Amino acid sequence: MGMKRRDFIKTTAIGLAAPTTIFGGSKLKTNKNDPIILSTWDHGLPANDAGLISLQNGGNAMDAAEAGARIPEGDPKSTSVGFGGLPDEQGNVTLDACVMDSTGNAGSVAFIQNIKHPVSVARKVMEDTKHVMLVGEGARQFAVSQGFEEIDLLTNESKAAWEKWKKKRRKMTPHETHDTIAVLAQDNKGDLAGACTTSGWAYKMHGRVGDSPIIGAGLFVDNEVGCAGGTGLGEEVIKTAGSFLVVELMRQGYDPTKACEEALNRVIKKHNGNPDFQIAYIAIRKDGKIGSACIKWSFEYALARGEQNKLHKIKGLL
Ligand code: ASP
């Protein structure tokens, strides 16, 4: 007698009952009652403060990550994120952002214009649509339909910088244009979430989208294992599925910093050991251990844990 479909599923499920063990075989404890907020660059400090306030007010990891990311988005002095971000080569500020929560849900907007808080639009995409990603004019229209205010994102300062650049159209070095904010959060239930938002590479081609709104590239969250976020040359992060890779390496048992390093080593190898650009990753593992690494020069991340919110500087692998 042939096997019935239901029996087959049962048998298969038993057959698969021992998947590759995460964390190299040893079960890690979930970090609880010790919330963490980890963000890229020094604008991570005020972002972390906002995230902590959100947690204190009963917010979860997703609320905290979003609240954090909104700070540089709204700050014209952060010229690589949101309002006041440096424009593309034609003078248009075009923004990319994404969020991912502890259930594995994700939302993203890319190439959105005239909206101050793309991270919150990304969250709306996640929560109120059937989709993961909206781009350009469609993303803007969706934001307006959700009550987001339209504003001119180009400040006088960023316009002046662009006009100066335009005279010579100097090639921006990747060292000069890499201040995306990724905010990773773990709340007091141990749940993980993240947000990532940027105006992207300064004076980029019109229409260029980087890694920051791409789930698995600029950000990835797996509530069983950990989460990771990236900053730096987005094209290279996309080509190596960077943040996803960091999380998968943690699943295989890599320590968070080692996972970030290994993901970067793949990029370094593809560039004959000598890339002339920066990428940095940050990661939180489910047990609360954090990690970070960057390719070269240095990188700063802001870590809020307990009463402390501090900037940490690390040196590049090269
Ligand atoms: N990752 C960003 C991008 O390529 C750049 C940055 O980190 O600022 O758009």
Among 40, 79, 94, 180, which one carries the catalytic annotation? Answer: 180
What is the distance between the alpha carbons of residues 289 and 298, in angstroms, rounded to a whole number? 21
Q: What is the atom index within ligand 1 of the atom nearest the CA of 208?
A: 9
CA of 282 relative to ligand 1 center, distance in Å:
14
Tens-digit pLDDT profile for residues 1-31: 444 544 444 444 444 444 444 665 567 889 9
Q: Are 227 and 184 in contact (CB under 8 A)?
A: yes
Q: Are 208 and 95 in contact (CB under 8 A)?
A: no
Q: Are 314 and 295 in contact (CB under 8 A)?
A: no
Residue 11 falls inside a structural domain: no
Look at residue 7 in the predicted model and tell me its pLDDT: 46
Look at residue 175 in the predicted model and tell me its pLDDT: 63
Residue 66 falls inside a structural domain: yes
Positions of the chain with pLDDT lower than 50, given as ranges: 1-3, 5-21
Residue 12 falls inside a structural domain: no
Residue 4 falls inside a structural domain: no
What is the distance between the alpha carbons of residues 124 and 132, in angstroms, rounded to a whole number? 10
Give the closest residue to 304 by CA, choosing from 13, 76, 51, 17. 51
Bridge partners of residue 250, in order along the sequence: none
CA of 202 relative to ligand 1 center, distance in Å:
9
Residue 152 falls inside a structural domain: yes
Residue 204 falls inside a structural domain: yes
Q: Is position 180 annotated as part of the catalytic site?
A: yes
Token pair, residue 72, equals 């540089």
Q: Which residues of 129-158 are buried (b: 16+ CB within 10 A; e: fewer)?
A: eeebbbbeeebbebbeeeebeeeebbbeeb
Look at residue 16 in the predicted model and tell me its pLDDT: 47
Pocket test for ligand 1, best of 212, 238, 239, 264 (most atoms within 8 A of CB): 212
Q: What is the atom index within ligand 1 of the atom nearest the CA of 209?
A: 9
What is the distance between the alpha carbons of residues 169 and 268, in angstroms, rounded to a whole number? 28
Look at residue 177 in the predicted model and tell me its pLDDT: 67
Q: What is the atom index within ligand 1 of the atom nearest the CA of 230?
A: 1
Q: Looking at the 3D structure of the chain, how many domains does it have? A: 1
Give the closest residue to 38 by CA, choosing from 193, 242, 200. 193
Domain span at residue 300? 20-315
Tens-digit pLDDT profile for residues 102-140: 999 999 999 999 999 999 999 999 999 999 999 999 999
Look at residue 169 in the predicted model and tell me its pLDDT: 85
Look at residue 285 in the predicted model and tell me its pLDDT: 98
Residue 212 falls inside a structural domain: yes
Q: What region does 249 belong to: left with phi over 0, alpha with psi -120 to 50, or beta?
A: alpha
| pTM of the predicted protein model | 0.92
Ligand 1 pocket (Cβ < 6 Å) reads 80, 177-180, 198, 200-201, 210-212, 231-234
Q: What pairing do the DSSP bridges indicate for beta strands 192-198 and 95-100?
A: antiparallel
What is the distance between the alpha carbons of residues 131 and 265, in angstroms, rounded to a whole number? 33
Specify the CATH number for the domain of residue 153: 3.60.20.30
Token pair, residue 317, equals 């692998």
From atom 8 of ligand 1, which residue's Cα is the shortest distance away? Answer: 178
Q: Are 277 and 233 in contact (CB under 8 A)?
A: yes
Pocket test for ligand 1, best of 231, 278, 282 (most atoms within 8 A of CB): 231
Residue 3 falls inside a structural domain: no
